[in-house]
Structures are given as structure tokens and as C-alpha cells.
Chain A
Amino acid sequence: MEIPDVKEKWTSKINVVTLGATKPQGGTRSKTVTVGGETTLPFITFEGEIPYNPVISGFVADTVPDWPEVIKNAIGKEINSPVEWAQKSVQEYGVDLISLKMIGADPAGKDASPSDCAKVVEQVLKAVDVPLIIWGCGDDEKDNHVLPECSQAAKGENCLIGSAKESNYMTIVAICKADKHKIISEAPVDINIGKQVNILLQDADFDLKDVVMFQTTAALGYGFDYVYTIIERGRIAGLKGDNLMAAPQICDVAGETYRVKEAFSDDDVLPGWGKLEKRGPMWEAACAEGYLQAGADILIMTHPEAIKSVQNTIKSLM
């Protein structure tokens, strides 16, 4: 008896997004990074094509993040300088691109000026030759000043700018069109808002083929479960022909992992949980690998051991 072919057949594919611009393309990067293009669910290579591997973007911030000492120590003194941190991430950790977050611009924190942020962008662009993801501080009002200057400083480099939300998308569209960058569309763990933001970007005449979706990220419990499900559902919708959901997806694993107490408290606070030195990077790696399985294309990571572990996982699964 003939065994029926039960392979899933998808009708559509995820958009291909290339980041970075080399000299002939109007930038100064020595290489570009391409994600997307899948015609199947993650790692199911016998059902479709997965032309590009998921990539790891090294987390770098203009200011030292509020992370536990053991995690900061694992990165070393370079964490104090975005330039050195970016260089170390590329040269030693072998990340594919750099994700630069302007934490210092937060009005509730250091309140760094937009021009200071733009300087950091310039310096990091000079220091490394990989493509850049540029984020504001998360405060919409401030980011409306910070991101235009950062975008301008990276004009022509084909960066990924984060992020466009329902509240600020017009500004982001304008700067990305002017300076030739791509956009991260963000929704707060809400697939419906995610789709709506993409509709708004499309209405503003921004090509959805230049968009990467971000459903924020969670590193624990229900939050993780929700984000995982949304990423997976978005991917399935994209594969079934919903062009509004066919964008590749990004997860900020580093930015979220060290905000959950299980991944930042040492065993003096959590007896029996083991040393944070090991638990932290394990948590980060496990979280990243979960999202890989959900369908993430770009993972933002920080701990060298976690990065190495996920790089190996990607290599062994692809």
C-alpha cells in the first residue's frame, strides 16, 4: 500500500529582508545579513525551503544596562564602551550583526541628548563592519527626537530601525524613507495590533517587504508562552498567504532575560536554583532556542556562553 504524502503544503513565503549596505550599495558595511524567505515552519526542511539561517545580533547599549554583576563580568570591561562592546561581540562572539540600544536616552535615566546618541551610532558604525539595528530608549516622545538623529547618522547604511508602533509610526516611516533604512514594527504581545501596525505602515506607503516584526519578548511563564504562540501564528499566517504577516520576526532575548528574577537573582536569594553564573546564560540560551522554534529570524543576545550555545544549535539544526 502506498503511504500517503502528509507533508504540509504552504502557499506563500516569508519576505526576504537584507540589512546593511556595502560600499557599492551606498553604505560602508563589509557584509550584509539576509533573513526570511522561508516557505515552511522552522527547521522543517523537508516541507519547504529555509534559504537563510536565523541570525544572532549582539546586544550593545550606549549605557551599561542594569544587569547582575556576574553577567556584566562575563562580557568584561568592554561593556562600558559601546564601541569596544560591539567590537568584542563581532570579533570574539561572532555575532552576525549589532543591535544598538539607546538606553541612556531615557528621560527617567541619564537623559542623553539625541546628538550624543547619534555620535554613538557613528562610532559603532566605524568600529564594526556588520549591519546595525538601532533602537531608541522606549520612551515615544524622546525617541521621536533620538531616532531621527541616529537614522541620519547612519544614512545609507540600510539599518533596521526600532521601532514603529501605532503611536509613532509616521515619524519612523519618514526617517526610514529619507535615510534608506528598514523598520521594526512593534506590538505589545498582541498579534492583532501587530497586524494593524503593518497595515498602518502600508497605508503610509512603506513597503512591507522592508519590515521586521517585533512582538516584544518575554523570558518567563505566560509571557513567553504568549510571545511564542504569536510568533508561530504570525509565521503560519504569512505562509498561508497573509501578506500583512509575512515579515521576518525579531526577539530581544538579552533585553528581557535579565529582567526576570529567576535569571538575575543569585542562589543567596533563590536557594537551590544554582549559581547565577551558569543559570543566567542557560536561561538566555533556552529562551532564544524556544523562540527559534517559534519562528524568530533575528535573536538579540548578549552572554558569550549563551551565544555560543545557540550558534551551535542553529548549526546543528540547519
Chain B
Amino acid sequence: MILIGERINAGFKDIKNAIINKDGDVIKEWARKQTDANADYLDVNLGTASNKPEDLCWMIEMVQEEVDTTISIDNNKPVMLKEAMPVCKKPPLVNSTTAVEEKMNELFPIVAEHNASIIGLVMDEAGSPATTDKRIENAGKIIEKAMEFGLSPEQIFLDPIIMPLKFMQPQAKEILSAANQFQLFSDPPCHIVCGLTNISNGAKHKILINRVFLSMLIANGCDAAILNVLDEELINTILTAELIMDKEIYADSYIEAFQKK
């Protein structure tokens, strides 16, 4: 599973303050903690703290001063990306585009130029899709357009768009079904990613809902997630689900082995 650490996001108060006060230590601390927990990517999000490219670049630099984990730039504005992409030491993961033609035409050339990857949210001008079919239609648009710009399936992370269980209960089934069918687009398939915590928005038993839904997503081909990598039980759920799906070879100490990785 490709683990994308969600914590360096100005949606969290400490990060927002760090950006405003240019306190690099807070960013570095979260970069270190998430890397030690085996994050493959670190999501970096300016949120509402700033809209200046130099602030985004500063965040990336702070992360890279501490760790060499690959960056996921959580921003979809070409002006920001053009500045931030060259700062990344490894080809980053851009979070994200939609299936809107204009957006893809702006973002894919930048991604291709830097040999980076990009998350494709399967929504279009009409907004979030309500059905499996609509999700697949939008995914098809993203893949077709990505191919035009010479991106390989491995550079595309399709996001089926997770909706809150509490408010849109019938959606969960549609999401799982869509993820399952995303695997059929190509061989090797695109990555399938999810912003996990949306599923438990507003719910009382958030932690449990996250864990159960993620294991169901894994059973339907999901191989990447933006999540709290420090939630040990959530990570153990992933490891176990992947064994059940025969993605990894079983060994009695599989959890201990991951922790020591």
C-alpha cells in the first residue's frame, strides 16, 4: 500500500500557525514522525494559511531538510505548481486534477515535464458523481487525456471520491464498485487512491468506520491512501487486508516486520 501522510496540512492548527510564523520545526517534526511511520509520500497543503507560491516552496523545503520522503503537493493551481515542482528533490505526486478538460490541459503538461504523478478525482463540471457509471466515465476521460500527454498508468492515481457514510449512505457501495472497475482500464492498472477520512465525516465511530471501509477498498483494488499514518491499528488493518488479498507474502511476524522497515 502506498501511504500518503496527511498531517502537513494547514487544516491543522499547528501547521497553519507554523506557516504564518515560518516555524519550520513544526513542519519538520511532522515530516519526521510520518516518515518514521513508513509514509511513502508526505502531503503538503497550504490550505487557507497562504496563497503564495513561496510559502508552499518553503513548506516543501522544510520537509526536505528533515527527510527524503517524496512530496505530494496538495495544490492544483498551475502558478503554484510551476514554482513548487522544481523544488521537489524527487518527482512529486500532484493532488489533484478533476476530469474537467481545461484543468487536465493545464496540469498534465506540468506533471509530464517533471515525470511526476497526479491524483485524478473522478468528478467533472457537474460536480461529484453519484453513480458507479459516472465515476468510470470520468476516470476514462482522465486516463485518455493523460495518455495524450504521454503519462503512463503508474503516474495516475484515480480517486473514486469518498462521500460521508453518515450523509450519503448509498454512495459507499458505488465507490467500491467503481474502484473495482478502475482496475480494468489498463495492465498494469493505474493506482487507486482514496482520501479515507471523508467516509467517517460527522460520524460518531470514525476510527472504526475508517478501518472497515479501507479494508473493503483494498479488497476492491485500492493501493494508495491519504491517511493518518500514525494510526497504528489502521496501518495494521491495511497490512492484514493486503495479506488477505494476497498482495504480500504471509509471515507470522508481518506486523513487526513492517514496524521495523
Chain A interface residues toward B at CB < 8 A = 9, 191-193, 195-196, 198-200, 202-203, 233-234, 237, 242-245
Q: Give CA–CA (A234, B249) in the complex, Å.
A: 9
Given contacts A195-B250, A196-B251, 16 further A-B contacts (CB under 8 A): A192-B250, A192-B251, A195-B249, A195-B251, A196-B252, A199-B251, A199-B253, A199-B256, A200-B253, A202-B257, A202-B260, A233-B249, A234-B249, A237-B249, A244-B249, A245-B249
Q: How many residue pairs between the two chains, A and B, have CB atoms under 8 Å in the bound complex?
A: 36
In the complex, 14 of the A-B residue pairs with CB atoms within 8 angstroms, ordered by the A residue number, are: A9-B188, A192-B251, A195-B249, A195-B250, A195-B251, A196-B253, A199-B253, A200-B253, A202-B260, A203-B253, A243-B261, A244-B249, A244-B251, A244-B257
Q: Which residues of B contact A202 (CB under 8 A)?
A: 257, 260
Question: Are B249 and A203 in touch, CB under 8 angstroms?
Answer: no
Q: Give CA–CA (A245, B251) in the complex, Å.
A: 11
Q: Which residues of A contact B260 (CB under 8 A)?
A: 202-203
Q: How many whole Å from B118's CB to the nearest CB in chain A?
A: 19
Q: Which residues of A contact B256 (CB under 8 A)?
A: 199, 203
Main SS of the interface on chain A? helix
Q: Which residues of B contact A9 (CB under 8 A)?
A: 154, 188
Q: Give CA–CA (A199, B251) in the complex, Å.
A: 8
Closest Cβ neighbor of A193 among chain B residues: B251
Question: Are A199 and B257 in touch, CB under 8 angstroms?
Answer: yes
Closest Cβ neighbor of A11 among chain B residues: B154
Q: How many whole Å from A18's CB to the nearest CB in chain B?
A: 25
Q: Give CA–CA (A237, B251) in the complex, Å.
A: 13
Q: How many whole Å from A205's CB to the nearest CB in chain B?
A: 10
Q: Give CA–CA (A131, B247) in the complex, Å.
A: 37
In the assembled complex, B54 has its CB within 8 A of some CB on chain A: no
Q: Give CA–CA (A200, B257) in the complex, Å.
A: 9
Q: Give CA–CA (A198, B248) in the complex, Å.
A: 15
Q: Which residues of B contact A234 (CB under 8 A)?
A: 249
- Fill in one digit per residue for B19-31: 1 if any A CB lies within 8 Å of its CB, else 0: 0000000000000
Closest Cβ neighbor of A191 among chain B residues: B249
Q: How many whole Å from B199's CB to the nearest CB in chain A?
A: 28
Chain B interface residues toward A at CB < 8 A = 154, 188, 248-253, 256-257, 260-261
Q: How many whole Å from A271's CB to the nearest CB in chain B?
A: 44
The list of the 3 closest CB pairs from A to B, nearest first, reads A195-B251, A196-B251, A199-B257
Q: How many whole Å from B261's CB to the nearest CB in chain A?
A: 8
Q: Give CA–CA (A242, B188) in the complex, Å.
A: 18
Q: Which residues of B contact A203 (CB under 8 A)?
A: 253, 256, 260
Closest Cβ neighbor of B252 among chain A residues: A196
Q: Give CA–CA (A198, B256) in the complex, Å.
A: 12
Q: How many whole Å from B259's CB to the nearest CB in chain A?
A: 11
Q: How many whole Å from B110's CB to the nearest CB in chain A?
A: 23
Q: Give CA–CA (A193, B254) in the complex, Å.
A: 11
Question: Are B257 and A192 in touch, CB under 8 angstroms?
Answer: no
Q: Which residues of A contact B188 (CB under 8 A)?
A: 9
Closest Cβ neighbor of A234 among chain B residues: B249
Q: Give CA–CA (A202, B260) in the complex, Å.
A: 9
Q: Give CA–CA (A274, B226) in the complex, Å.
A: 64
Q: How many whole Å from A251's CB to the nearest CB in chain B?
A: 19
Q: Which residues of B contact A198 (CB under 8 A)?
A: 251
Closest Cβ neighbor of A237 among chain B residues: B249
Closest Cβ neighbor of A241 among chain B residues: B248
Q: How many whole Å from B28's CB to the nearest CB in chain A?
A: 27
Closest Cβ neighbor of B250 among chain A residues: A192
Q: Give CA–CA (A244, B261) in the complex, Å.
A: 10
Q: A199-B257, A202-B260, A203-B260 are in contact. Are A192 and B248 (CB under 8 A)?
A: no
Q: How many whole Å from A115's CB to the nearest CB in chain B?
A: 37
Q: How many whole Å from B115's CB to the nearest CB in chain A?
A: 14
Q: How many whole Å from A283's CB to the nearest CB in chain B?
A: 30
Q: A202-B260, A203-B260 are in contact. Are A192 and B249 (CB under 8 A)?
A: yes
Question: Are A242 and B249 in touch, CB under 8 angstroms?
Answer: yes
Q: Give CA–CA (A198, B252) in the complex, Å.
A: 11
Q: How many whole Å from B238's CB to the nearest CB in chain A?
A: 15
Interface centre among A192, A199, A200, A245 (most CB of B within 10 A): A199
